């Protein structure tokens, strides 16, 4: 097997271990690594979401069977998330990669900070079913999930849990909705990018294999590692890699600034 596929398998494996542990960060983790390896933002996000379809399908079915899904929460997030994801994917494929990459990395730094904040924050548990609250959360989560190659979990899970919703129901409902959001984003990417996406079959295959292998192992390993420790490690890793990408993209940011303001 080509060594590059082994690298992608490792990325998919680590990302899925993180996601199964925290209920989020598969996309953010994978996309951060891929951007740091030099992939264009649209290709990175498209490949992550295409491989993620199979992982989220398995996770969603499991959560429904285990009774971890709050149906009202799930339905209120579903349609806004799909619409936000479609819009985000379309915009990402319409913008020059070198221009948008540093801004996505800035967004990922913020997501890393959100994860770190979650590591130390405690909230009182309560139910959250308000459409006025959930519709914009779902739409924003779907939009930035497509733009940043991930963010559905960090934005939606973190926001809903910060309001005090039951953690188990939150993770289950958000993960169940994520499959449909991911499918919508993947279809949009395929329509916009075309066969270019499948030229990166090694990347897609590697992420998929890594994610599938990691899924059954994650639950056991996560029992041995405190969630707070995992959150801190993931947050620092995402921030560090994203800052590296911002540093590498600094000339493009300066050039863009000069073009806009003369």
> What is the per-residue pLDDT for 126?
57
The answer to whether 52 and 182 have CB atoms below 8 angstroms apart is yes
> What is the per-residue pLDDT for 224?
66
> What is the per-residue pLDDT for 112?
78
26 Cβ contact partners less than 8 Å away, ≥ 6 residues apart: 15, 16, 18, 19, 48, 52, 55, 150, 153, 211
What CA–CA distances, in Å, run from 146 to 35, 159, 241?
14, 18, 19
> What is the per-residue pLDDT for 125?
53
Pairwise CA distance, residues 89 & 190, whole Å: 10
Pairwise CA distance, residues 63 & 168, whole Å: 9
Pairwise CA distance, residues 200 & 30, whole Å: 15
> What is the per-residue pLDDT for 243?
86
The answer to whether 200 and 3 have CB atoms below 8 angstroms apart is no
> What is the per-residue pLDDT for 157?
79
Does the pTM surpass 0.85? The reply is no
> What is the per-residue pLDDT for 83?
97
Domains: count for the chain: 1
Where the chain has pLDDT below 50, the residues are none
Pairwise CA distance, residues 110 & 94, whole Å: 23
What is the tens place of the pLDDT at every residue in 191-201? 888 877 778 88
What is the tens place of the pLDDT at every residue in 63-115? 888 888 899 999 999 999 999 999 999 988 887 666 776 777 787 788 778 77
Q: Which long-range contacts (CB under 8 A, 24 or more apart) does 58-66 make?
A: 58/212, 58/215, 59/20, 59/175, 59/176, 59/178, 59/179, 59/215, 60/175, 60/176, 60/177, 60/178, 60/179, 63/171, 63/172, 63/173, 63/175, 63/176, 64/172, 64/176, 66/172
> What is the per-residue pLDDT for 204?
86
Rounded to 10 degrees, the C-alpha dihedral 178/54/218/138 comes to: -10
Q: Which domain holds residue 212?
A: 3-261
Tokens read off for 67: 């009774």
């Amino acid at each position: 097997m080509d060594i590059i596929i082994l690298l992608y398998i490792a990325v998919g494996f680590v990302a899925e271990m993180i996601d199964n542990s925290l209920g989020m960060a598969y996309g953010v983790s994978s996309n951060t690594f891929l951007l740091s390896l030099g992939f264009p933002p649209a290709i990175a996000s498209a490949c992550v979401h295409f491989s993620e379809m199979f992982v989220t399908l398995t996770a969603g079915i499991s959560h429904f069977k285990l009774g971890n899904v709050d149906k009202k929460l799930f339905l209120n997030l579903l349609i806004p998330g799909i619409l936000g994801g479609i819009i985000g994917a379309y915009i990402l494929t319409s913008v020059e990669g070198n221009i948008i990459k540093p801004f996505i990395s800035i967004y990922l730094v913020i997501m890393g900070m959100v994860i770190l904040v979650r590591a130390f924050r405690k909230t009182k548990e309560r139910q959250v079913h308000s459409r006025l609250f959930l519709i914009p959360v779902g739409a924003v989560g779907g939009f930035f999930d497509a733009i940043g190659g991930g963010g559905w979990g960090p934005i939606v899970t973190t926001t809903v849990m910060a309001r005090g919703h039951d953690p188990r129901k939150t993770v289950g409902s958000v993960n169940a909705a994520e499959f449909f959001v991911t499918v919508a984003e993947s279809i949009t990417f395929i329509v916009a990018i075309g066969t270019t996406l499948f030229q990166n079959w090694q990347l897609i295959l590697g992420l998929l294999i890594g994610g599938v292998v990691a899924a059954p192992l994650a639950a056991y390993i996560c029992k041995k590692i405190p969630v707070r420790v995992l959150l801190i490690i993931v947050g620092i890793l995402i921030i560090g890699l994203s800052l590296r990408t911002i540093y590498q993209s600094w000339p493009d940011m300066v050039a863009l600034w000069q073009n806009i303001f003369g």
